[in-house]
Amino acid sequence: MTQIPQLICPAGSLPALKAAVDNGADAVYLGYKNDTNARNFAGLNFDEKAMRDGIHYAQSHGRHVLMAINTFAQSGRVADWHRAIDGASDLGVNAVILADIGLLDYASRHHPQLRLHLSVQGSATSYEAVNFAQREFGVRRAVLPRVLTLAQVENVINNTTVEIEVFGFGSLCVMNEGRCWLSSYATGESPNTVGACSPAKYVKWEKTPGKMSTRLNGILIDRFDDNEPAGYPTLCKGRFEVNGETYYALEEPTSLNVLEILPEIARIGVAAIKVEGRQRSPAYVAQVTKTMRAALNALDGQHYQVKPIWQTDLAKVSEGSQATLGAYSRPWR
């Protein structure tokens, strides 16, 4: 029988962590309240007490906790990232998710017992890159970027003994994962360490009769009619005028949703499916976790079929109420 992938769910807060555990996540991923964490949103993430409480709650329910220390250490401040890794080890997390090669080296030398996962922000798109991380630092799992076709994912799996984790639901990224050059150019700050593609202090909403305009550091991203839903403004999902036409030039507001291809994902040997959204609410985490758990459990049967209620429930929390298979399905490749 095909091995069912683990379900890895986001925990941006203690209530979100509990929602993931209670609704069937095999593991949760979380981070500190500082810039060692690529989702360093104001009001989210974990101080030491909440971290201890969350780890105890998850592990006492038989679930794993993965600590994301997935930003790149800043010059002159490397000790802050080293302390984060030391702290994760002391707290007894089940794995640490790292992108920075220097931090992978530090963790492998100072905490050889600590299980290491290569973050999606490490941008490992080939088995050569994955095998390098395994050979040099003992990495046990790699999270692949959301730019590979299913055939390309299978090629990586067939050429490595490292466990492979892929994204299964949530926002997409058209840049080097978590390191958006567009946002950096527009704001002068790196999304890698400020926690958002569009840092809140640069976002401006302008209401005029019949319209709502959104800007990032003065750059017009989109303009919505009163009856249009207006999502949080990010440059890649804005509408721009190109050769006289105005449209989503880079990416439409839509969520990745792999329900249709779950059997193929399991067949090729994917070890884990990740849900994006540490910045989202506990209600989002509960809904997506519950639905994905039901779908993964259905892989046990002989005739897997996507239930309409699954798609309906996920559509309620999908970006722009739209879903896509993203790069996984490229018929022209």
Average pLDDT, the chain: 91
Question: What are the CA-CA distances from residue 137 to residues 102, 113, 223, 272 (Å)?
Answer: 10, 12, 47, 21
Of 202 and 162, more confident: 162
Residue among 167, 168, 193 at smallest CA distance from 180: 193
Residue among 264, 266, 272 at smallest CA distance from 118: 272
Summary count for the chain: helices (H), strands (E):
11, 15
Residue at a domain's end among 224, 248, 272: 248
In a domain, 52, yes or no: yes
Tens of pLDDT, residue by residue over 3-38, are 899 999 999 999 999 999 999 999 999 999 999 998
Q: For the whole model, what pTM was predicted?
A: 0.89
Does 118 share its domain with 155?
A: yes
In a domain, 333, yes or no: no
**Does pLDDT of 158 surpass 70?**
yes
In a domain, 1, yes or no: no
| Residues 47-54, mean pLDDT to the nearest whole number | 96
| Residues 286-310, mean pLDDT to the nearest whole number | 93
**Does pLDDT of 137 surpass 60?**
yes
Question: What are the CA-CA distances from residue 266 to residues 128, 153, 168, 262, 298 (Å)?
Answer: 22, 12, 12, 6, 12
Does 149 share its domain with 264?
A: yes
Report the pLDDT value the prediction gives residue 332, as an integer from 0 to 100: 46
| Residues 135-147, mean pLDDT to the nearest whole number | 96
**Does pLDDT of 234 surpass 90?**
no
Q: At 310, is the pLDDT very low, low, confident or very high (cuts 50, 70, 90)? A: very high
Does 231 share its domain with 90?
A: no
Report the pLDDT value the prediction gives residue 129, as an integer from 0 to 100: 98
Does 101 share its domain with 222?
A: no
Does 40 share its domain with 14?
A: yes
| Residues 58-73, mean pLDDT to the nearest whole number | 97
**Which tokens hold the place of 117?**
């996962």
| Residues 212-240, mean pLDDT to the nearest whole number | 86
Structural domain boundaries, residue 314: 6-172+254-328
* Beta bridge mates, 245: 242
| Residues 95-99, mean pLDDT to the nearest whole number | 98
**Does pLDDT of 130 surpass 60?**
yes
In a domain, 215, yes or no: yes
Query: What percent of the chain is modeled with pLDDT above 70?
Result: 96
Does 121 share its domain with 224?
A: no
Does 164 share its domain with 205?
A: no
| Residues 227-256, mean pLDDT to the nearest whole number | 82
Residue type, 106: Y
| Residues 46-60, mean pLDDT to the nearest whole number | 97
Does 156 share its domain with 210?
A: no
Does 260 share its domain with 143?
A: yes
Does 125 share its domain with 209?
A: no
Of 225 and 157, more confident: 157
Report the pLDDT value the prediction gives residue 238, as an integer from 0 to 100: 86
Residue among 150, 157, 191, 193 at smallest CA distance from 173: 191
The Cα 121–Cα 136 span in angstroms is: 18
- Which CATH number characterizes residue 286's domain? 3.20.20.380
Q: How many folded domains does the chain comprise?
A: 2
| Residues 239-248, mean pLDDT to the nearest whole number | 87
In a domain, 64, yes or no: yes
Residue at a domain's end among 248, 265, 289: 248
| Residues 279-300, mean pLDDT to the nearest whole number | 95
Does 189 share its domain with 309?
A: no
| Residues 215-240, mean pLDDT to the nearest whole number | 85
Report the pLDDT value the prediction gives residue 175, as an integer from 0 to 100: 67
Report the pLDDT value the prediction gives residue 182, as an integer from 0 to 100: 84
Residue at a domain's end among 248, 263, 287: 248
Does 79 share its domain with 53?
A: yes
